[in-house]
């Protein structure tokens, strides 16, 4: 009779969960990560941010290139009445009807070392007096000049130190954004994977409990077990059915979340492939730190923040105390009744001007501004040093966690195998009648928990793996720096 029960149980428990069919796609973790990097809103936002930073970089570069511009006032027509002050102090309103048009072609080039600007220009002006039917031309055939700030803040010099750091920082930040997407979508992947595993467990438990209840009913009719065991199995069956319904709901929610993040449309079912670990990959804290300081945007930001603090001190110094500017201009100008005559025998045009401002009494305002900037510089240095320590500690901790997670996956895999074997033996022993329903329930729970623990260990491992990539921007699996086009 025992062998009959065992054969009946094995025949009834052959139903297994199967995810497949024409309306189901199977996706691995790396495929889901690539989908997110290509289609997610976060990926599109990172691309847009990268393009914005690129054009800001192009704008900065253009500041050091020669500039050529054409400006003018064409036409400059006016018909009105203007007040005119008379010699005796009275005012008369005189009609004015004229056109005063002007065109200027201007060329300029900045000098980074001194902050000066060298410029050249050519100008032509035409004045039409319609009341008197008179036309007059005035022009500057050509002129060159120099504008040199003295003792002032040189933005060109400091931008050349800071802007390249900002641009390099933005390029590495784009790579970090891609790796952050991988970290985020890995969480959604394992949310769905765990929900699918829970559904498989619930369906299997429901089917097995139903089969065991059928066998128990036969044993009860033969007087082999008590009514209490039948009631316990009926309760287990109800709980298994409830768990199945809850698991289906969790699968739908997790699937919707994953679809939403990866921007996947349609109603095709998703069956996730349980990922394996990377057993041959080894990392050391020193190696990860070296790559992090070489690749991370934070490492570039450490240098940039110090440079910006020093720039702010330079701004404070340049805006206080003696400020002056030297302007020199040399060229030719002329006026005539026609255009050709403007360019014949033009007159010399010269300009030399020094403007300055010296605070005589500012009640310590200049000194206060400089001291404030210097204090902020010192504070920034301390803050950067603190951030460096946090940066290093975070990496060392993550390397330690990664090694631990890799070991945990192996241990939980063994525990899952042992629990599965124990569960199988428990079912067979119960059918043969030498195991209590309580021990069988314990074997059920341990088997279920072992499977969930294994998925959780895989989640921790792959989360630590992608976090390690994010912190170093280095692919230790392929032994190369991470780059994206």
Whether 333 and 429 map to the same domain: the answer is no
User: Residue 434's pLDDT band (boundaries 50, 70, 90)?
Assistant: low
Say if 250 falls within a structural domain: yes
What residue numbers bound the domain in which 81 lies?
A: 65-111+116-153+322-358
The pLDDT of residue 314 is 93
Classify residue 277: in a domain, yes or no.
yes
Whether residues 259 and 236 share a domain: the answer is yes
Mean pLDDT confidence for 315-337: 90
Tell whether 264 and 300 lie within a shared domain.
yes
In a domain, residue 301? The reply is: yes
Cα 111 to the center of its chain, rounded Å: 35
pLDDT value at residue 279 = 65
Quickly state the pLDDT bin for 19 (edges 50, 70, 90).
very low
Residues 201 and 216 in one domain: yes
Q: Which residues of 251-277 are buried (b: 16+ CB within 10 A; e: fewer)?
A: beebbeebbebbebeeeeebebeebeb
Confidence at residue 430, expressed as pLDDT on a 0 to 100 scale: 67
Q: Are residues 377 and 232 in the same domain?
A: yes
Confidence band, pLDDT 50/70/90 cuts, at residue 17: very low
Q: List all residues 6 or more positions away from 86 whose beta carbon is below 8 Å from its beta carbon.
A: 92
**SS3 letters across the chain:** CHHHHHHHHHHHCCCCCCCCCCCEEEECHHHHHHHHHHHCHHHHHHHHHHHHHHHHHHHHHHCCCCEEEEEEECCCEEEEEEEEECCCCCEEEEEEEEEEEEEEEEEEEEECCCCEEEEEEEEEEEEEECCCCEEEEEEEEEEEEEEEEECCCCHHHHHHHHHHHHHHHHHHHHHHHHHHHHHHHHHHHHHHHHHHHHHHHHHHHHHHHHHHHHHHHHHHHCCCCCHHHHHHHHHHHHHHHHHHHHHHHHHHHHHHHHHHHHCCCCCCEEEECCCCCCCCCCCCHHHHHHHHHHHCHHHHHHHHHHHHHHHHHHHHHHCCCCEEEEEEEEEEEEEECCHHHHCCCCEEEEEEEEEEECCCCCCCHHHHHHHHHHHHHHHHHHHHHHHHHHHHHHHHHHHHHHHHHHHHHHHHHHHHHHHHHHHHHHHHHHHHCCCCHHHHHHHHHHHHHHHHHHHHHHHHHHHHHHHHHHHHCEECCCCEECCCC
| pLDDT at residue 219, rounded to an integer | 73
pLDDT greater than 60 at residue 448: yes
pLDDT of residue 2: 39
Say if residue 345's pLDDT is above 60: yes
Residue 229 domain-assigned (yes or no):
yes
Tell me: do 182 and 84 sit in the same domain: no
pLDDT digits (tens, 9 = 90+) for 370-391: 999 999 999 999 999 999 999 9
- Joined together, the tokens standing for residue 227 give 């009514």
Average pLDDT (70-79) is 91
**281 and 208 in a common domain:** yes
Alpha-carbon distances, residue 415 vs 408, 447, 454 (angstroms)? 10, 9, 8
- pLDDT score for 433: 66
Q: Is 46 inside any structural domain? A: yes
pLDDT tops 90 at residue 468: yes
The answer on 434 and 344 residing in a single domain is: no
Q: How confident is the model at residue 409 (pLDDT cuts 50, 70, 90)?
A: confident
Euclidean distance between CA atoms 112 and 64, whole angstroms: 8
pLDDT over threshold 60, residue 6:
no
Beta partners for residue 100, in sequence order = 127
Which of 281 and 349 is assigned the larger pLDDT?
Answer: 349
Whether residues 391 and 421 fall in one domain: yes
In percent, the amount of the chain with pLDDT more than 70 equals 93
So what's the pLDDT on residue 397? Answer: 92
Averaged pLDDT of the chain: 87
Residue 363 lies in a domain: no
Residue 192 has a pLDDT of 94
Q: What is the mean pLDDT of residues 353-371?
A: 89
Residue 467 near residue 160, CB atoms below 8 Å: no
Mean pLDDT of 205-226: 76
The Cα–Cα gap between 43 and 51 comes to: 13
| CATH code for the domain in which residue 397 is found | 1.20.1600.10
More reliable by pLDDT, 159 or 219 = 159
Least confident of 242-251, 362-371, 413-422: 413-422
- pLDDT category at 5 given cuts 50, 70, 90 is very low
Q: What confidence tens digit (pLDDT) does each residue in 23-38 have?
A: 788 999 999 999 999 9
Same structural domain for residues 256 and 373? yes
38 lies in the same domain as 164: yes
Please indicate whether residue 435 or residue 192 has the higher confidence score (pLDDT): 192
Residue 44 has pLDDT above 90, yes or no: yes
170, 244: one domain: yes
pLDDT at 437: 64
| Of 338, 358, 378, the domain-final residue | 358
Whether the per-residue pLDDT at 239 is higher than 50: the answer is yes
Q: What is the mean pLDDT of residues 348-373?
A: 90
Bigger pLDDT: 40 vs 266: 40
Name the token pair of 288.
Answer: 């990860």
Contact by Cβ (8 Å): 99, 78? yes
Closest-CA residue to 318 (of 165, 108, 158): 158
Look up residue 186 and give its two tokens. Answer: 């890995």
The count of domains in the chain is: 2
Give 208's pLDDT tier (boundaries 50, 70, 90).
confident
Q: What is the reported pLDDT for 12?
A: 38
| Span 283-295, pLDDT tens digits | 889 999 999 999 9
Mean pLDDT of 403-413: 85
């Amino acid at each position: 009779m025992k062998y009959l029960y065992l054969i009946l149980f094995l025949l009834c428990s052959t139903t297994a969960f199967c995810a497949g069919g024409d309306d189901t796609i199977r996706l691995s973790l790396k495929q889901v990560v690539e989908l997110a990097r290509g289609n997610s809103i976060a990926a599109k936002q990172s691309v847009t941010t990268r393009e914005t930073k690129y054009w800001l970089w192009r704008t900065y570069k253009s500041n050091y290139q020669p500039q050529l511009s054409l400006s003018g006032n064409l036409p400059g027509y006016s018909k009105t009445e203007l007040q005119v002050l008379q010699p005796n102090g009275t005012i008369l309103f005189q009609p004015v009807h004229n056109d005063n048009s002007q065109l200027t072609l201007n060329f300029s080039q900045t000098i980074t070392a001194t902050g000066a600007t060298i410029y050249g220009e050519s100008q032509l002006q035409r004045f039409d007096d319609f009341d008197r039917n008179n036309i007059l031309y005035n022009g500057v055939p050509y002129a060159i000049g120099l504008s040199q700030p003295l003792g002032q803040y040189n933005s060109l010099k400091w931008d050349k130190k800071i802007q390249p750091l900002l641009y390099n920082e933005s390029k590495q930040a784009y790579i970090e954004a891609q790796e952050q997407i991988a970290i985020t979508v890995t969480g959604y992947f394992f949310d769905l994977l765990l929900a699918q595993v829970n559904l498989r467990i619930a369906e299997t438990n429901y089917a097995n409990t139903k089969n065991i209840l059928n066998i128990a009913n036969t044993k009860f009719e033969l007087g082999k077990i008590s009514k209490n065991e039948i009631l316990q199995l009926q309760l287990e069956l109800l709980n298994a059915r409830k768990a199945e319904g809850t698991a289906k709901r969790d699968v739908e929610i997790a699937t919707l979340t994953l679809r939403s993040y990866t921007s996947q449309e349609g109603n095709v079912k998703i069956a996730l492939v349980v990922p394996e670990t990377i057993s041959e990959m080894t990392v050391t804290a020193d190696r990860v730190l070296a790559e992090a300081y070489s690749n991370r945007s934070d490492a570039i930001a450490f240098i940039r923040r110090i440079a910006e603090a020093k720039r702010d001190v330079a701004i404070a110094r340049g805006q206080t105390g003696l400020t002056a500017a030297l302007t020199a201009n040399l060229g030719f100008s002329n006026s005539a009744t026609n255009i050709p005559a403007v360019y014949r025998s033009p007159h010399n045009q010269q300009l030399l001007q020094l403007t300055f401002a010296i605070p005589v009494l500012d009640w310590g305002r200049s000194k206060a501004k400089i001291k404030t900037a210097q204090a902020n510089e010192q504070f920034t240095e301390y803050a950067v040093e603190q951030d460096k320590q946090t940066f290093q500690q975070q990496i060392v901790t993550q390397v330690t966690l990664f090694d631990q997670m890799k070991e945990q996956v192996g241990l939980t895999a063994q525990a899952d195998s042992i629990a599965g074997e124990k569960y199988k033996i428990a079912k067979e022993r119960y059918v043969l009648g030498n195991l209590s329903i309580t021990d069988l329930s314990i074997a059920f729970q341990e088997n279920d928990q072992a499977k969930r623990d294994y998925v959780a260990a895989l989640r921790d491992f792959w989360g630590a793996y992608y976090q390690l990539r994010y912190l170093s921007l280095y692919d230790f699996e392929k032994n190369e720096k991470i780059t994206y086009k």
